[in-house]
């Protein structure tokens, strides 16, 4: 049985199939400057901004048993729906609802039909709730 690294809705990242090799998480915090007379501005915390996750990896024709660009097509269709999806990690922890901000792929090592045998991909997610 293949190990699921992460699932986004019904889409699953598997070890050895369409695994990501890099995951980056980012969260921003908002601060506003409160002006004061004859003194430096006082910084005031106003809240949390957007939290994002970026995944990147590679997929190979031999590993997926067909066209590796199907990964791009499936994620693109999910993004076009404009919905947020439940993100679950490999331990089964629900990480909340996440939207797809961008999907990118680069096909390499084309076969005689022009189908890439090797695909590099990246996926951008943002925290919805």
Query: Residues 71, 103: contact at Cβ < 8 Å?
Result: no
Q: Cβ of 44: how many Cβ atoms within 10 Å? A: 10
Q: What is residue 69's predicted lDDT score, i.e. its pLDDT?
A: 75
pTM above 0.75? yes
Span 40-51, average pLDDT: 93
The answer to whether residue 104 scores a pLDDT higher than 70 is yes
Mean pLDDT of the chain: 88
Question: How far is 48 from 36, CA to CA, in rounded Å?
Answer: 24
The answer to whether residue 9 scores a pLDDT higher than 80 is yes
The answer to whether residue 35 scores a pLDDT higher than 90 is yes
The answer to whether residue 1 scores a pLDDT higher than 70 is no
Q: What is residue 63's predicted lDDT score, i.e. its pLDDT?
A: 63
> How many H-runs (helices) and E-runs (strands) does the chain carry?
2, 7
The structural domains of the chain, with segments of one domain joined by +, span: 4-24+55-127
Question: How far is 13 from 16, CA to CA, in rounded Å?
Answer: 9
Residues in the chain: 129
Q: 74-96: per-residue pLDDT in tens? A: 999 999 999 999 999 999 999 99
Q: What is residue 64's predicted lDDT score, i.e. its pLDDT?
A: 65
What's the pLDDT band for 3 if we cut at 50, 70, 90? confident
């Amino acid at each position: 049985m293949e190990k699921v690294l992460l699932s986004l809705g019904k889409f699953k990242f598997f070890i050895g199939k369409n695994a990501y090799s890099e995951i980056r998480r980012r969260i921003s915090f908002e601060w506003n400057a409160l002006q004061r007379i004859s003194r430096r501005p006082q910084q005031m915390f106003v809240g949390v901004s957007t939290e994002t996750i970026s995944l990147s990896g590679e997929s190979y024709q031999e590993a997926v048993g067909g066209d590796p660009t199907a990964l791009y097509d499936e994620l693109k269709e999910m993004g076009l729906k404009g919905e947020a999806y439940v993100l679950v990690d490999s331990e089964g922890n629900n990480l909340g609802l996440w939207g797809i901000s961008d999907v990118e792929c680069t096909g390499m090592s084309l076969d005689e039909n022009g189908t890439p045998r090797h695909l590099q991909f990246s996926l951008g997610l943002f925290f919805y709730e």
